[in-house]
Structure 1
Amino acid sequence: MKDQFHFDGSPTAVVQKPLALLGVGLCATTLAVMSPRTAAAQDQVWSSVTANGPVATDSRWLVWFDGHARFREGGETLDTTILRPGVGYRVNNRLDVWVGYANVTNRRPGLDVEEHRLWQQATYPIAQVAGGSLTGRTRLEQRFRDGDDDTGLRLRQFVRWSRPLGGVPLSAVVSNETFFALNDTDWGQRGGFDQNRAFVGLAWAVSPKVRIEGGYLNQQIDGGPAPDTSNDNLSLAAFASF
């Protein structure tokens, strides 16, 4: 089973055109709406593990888990933890669909901020570009905060390009994820562009089913009436398929 970021071949026309156009359109819109006024960059360290695969050999039913620990102040203080399990179904060898739950805790002075999310996503290939594979993930989230009744709806579009480097078990990786809030909530979500995460780095194939990625991730967060926030992050991630 290939993980969600490794697919071979080109998608069917039915899947390829709307999803590819969605990814390109969202990335283009991000460049248009991001404001040049940004607050001072924050240095952060992001770490994560992701595992997914079929529930049994040759099964179309899939399981997913990813966990995250993010540290602010140059990696000294725990900032955010995320636990995100899910289940999926392999529609064909070019499209997987998923549903799941995420628990997100933002560590803050005083009371932590806890968020619950239901999520649905599709993972798919897009095209072979410049000797590498371009893949995508489209995710819809329903966000809930403890003590608040409003539900925040958010769309996230992720695209990833990777290309093996000849003679070594390494690949060059470039990815981008754009977030759009689809409504306003009493607890602070504002409709429109929410944030963008752009990554560049290397992936090391530890084995056919395990890889480790490391590199630089820039996070631009819309500040609304305040200056936008720009975070410079060191990103370390491990991925396993089974």
Structure 2
Amino acid sequence: MSRILVPTLALALLTTIAAAPVAAQTNHDEALWVNATVMGRISGPLVYFAEVQPRVTDGVSRLSQVLLRPAIGYQISPAVTVYQGYAHVIEPLENRPDRSEDRLFQQVTWNVGKIGQLEVQSRTRLEQRWRSDGDGMSLRARQMMRFEYPLAPGTRRVAALGSVEGFVGLKSADWGGVTGFDQVRTFVGLEIPLPGTSTLEAGYLNQTRDASGRRVDMAHVASLTLFVRL
């Protein structure tokens, strides 16, 4: 287990360090991301999830993206599930037709286990990306480590959450995409139990993206995520 965990943690740490180039100009923005995800079991080891996520940016004044992302998974073990999914991203543009992006992605989620009361989870995702305003496919890898610490006893309790996710471009396309470090997202917040096994996650997400001309784009995001488990 440690052979996999150590490189994963190292990747998250390295991408975090790379997210703050020395002497780079940083542009700040305030945003709101709302995510609703439905998940459940199809039959036996077959599972699914489907999510919709509108993102409001530019000082929480403009709808900049809507993501639709379904996936079907196979539960290899109680701790490991592999997924094949598809994402469609819509970007509304002023006085122009909307721009869209289509993605295929493969994902592995791994419930690593506990360190004392701290629960650790890993999510690895590989994305193949096509966009409507150009040719070619961009390839991107994402690695997230998530940490959950219960603030009260029992299984239905409020928990403190933290996560870090690094994005690395493996192949660019005519329309864009990067090769090398792309961005890092860091989240801190709370998991709040809802009726049944559903939960609400609320907190602050920092998105730091590499940009052209020694520039860094940093978004300060109020993040709300509803998980409906059927």
With normalisation by structure 1, the TM-score equals 0.87
Would you say the 8 A contact 2:106–2:127 is kept in 1? yes
Q: Is the 8 A contact 2:141 2:169 kept in 1?
A: yes
Where does residue 30 of structure 2 map in the other structure?
A: 43
Cα 1:149–1:203, aligned 2, differ >3 Å: closer, same or farther? same
- Which of residues 44, 68, 75 is equivalent to 1:83? 68
Match 1:149 to one of 135, 157, 163: 135
- CA drift of 1:129 comes to 2.7
Alignment-derived partner of residue 8 in structure 1: none
Where 1:17 maps in the other structure, the secondary structure is helix
Q: Tell me, which stretches of 5 or more residues in structure 2 are unaligned?
A: none
Conservation of the 8 A alpha-carbon contact between 2:79 and 2:112? no
Report the Cα offset of residue 147 of structure 1: 4.6
Task: Tell me the distance in 2 between the aligned counterparts of 1:22 and 1:125.
Answer: 16
Whichever residue aligns with residue 64 of structure 2, its letter is D
* 1:183 paired to 2:171: yes
Matching residue of 2:39: 52
CA-atom RMSD, angstroms?
A: 1.7
Aligned counterparts of 1:51 and 1:83: Cα–Cα separation in 2: 12
Aligned partner of 1:173 in structure 2 is: 161
2-structure distance, mates of 1:147, 1:223: 19
Question: Which residue does the alignment assign to 1:72?
Answer: 57
**Corresponding residue for 2:91?**
106
AA aligned opposite 2:36: V
1:234 partner letter: A
- Show the 5 A alignment for 1:124-135: 124-135=110-121
Are positions 1:241 and 2:229 aligned together? yes
Could you tell me how far apart the structure 2 residues matched to 1:202 and 1:92 are? 27
**Structure 1 residues 160-183: Cα deviation after superposition (integer angstroms, max 9, x where no partner):** 101111168311000111100001
Q: Which runs of 5+ in 1 are unaligned?
A: 1-12
In the alignment, does 2:113 pair up with 1:122? no
Cα offset, 1:100, TM superposition: 1.1
- The answer to whether the 8 Å contact 1:60/1:90 transfers is yes
Match of 1:221 in 2: 209
**Equivalent position amino acid for 2:80 in 1:** L
Tell me the amino acid that sits aligned with residue 79 of structure 1: S
For residue 65 of structure 2, what is the amino acid of its counterpart? T
Q: Which moved more, 1:176-185 or 1:36-45?
A: 36-45
**TM-score for both structures, normalised by structure 2:** 0.92
User: Does the Cα contact within 8 Å between 1:38 and 1:230 map onto a contact in 2?
Assistant: no
Q: Alpha-carbon deviation of 1:126? A: 1.9
Q: Secondary structure at the match of 2:97?
A: coil
Cα distance between partner residues in 1 of 2:98 and 2:41: 35
1:15-73 CA distances to partner (integer Å, 9 max, x unpaired)?
x632x2342121122133221424231000000011212113xx111111111001013
When residues 206 and 141 of structure 1 are mapped into structure 2, their CA distance, relative to the original with a 3 A threshold, is: same
Identity %: 30
The amino acid that maps onto 2:173 is T
**1:194-215 per-position Cα deviation (integer Å, ceiling 9, x unaligned):** 0011000111011341000111
What residue is the counterpart of 1:140 in the other structure?
Answer: 126
| Rounded Cα–Cα distance in structure 2 between residues aligned with 1:66 and 1:129 | 30
Question: 1:97-144, CA deviations, whole angstroms, 9 ceiling, x for partnerless residues?
Answer: 000110011222223221000000000122313521010100000000
User: Helix, strand or coil for the counterpart of 1:169?
Assistant: coil
CA distance in 1, matches of 2:128, 2:58: 29
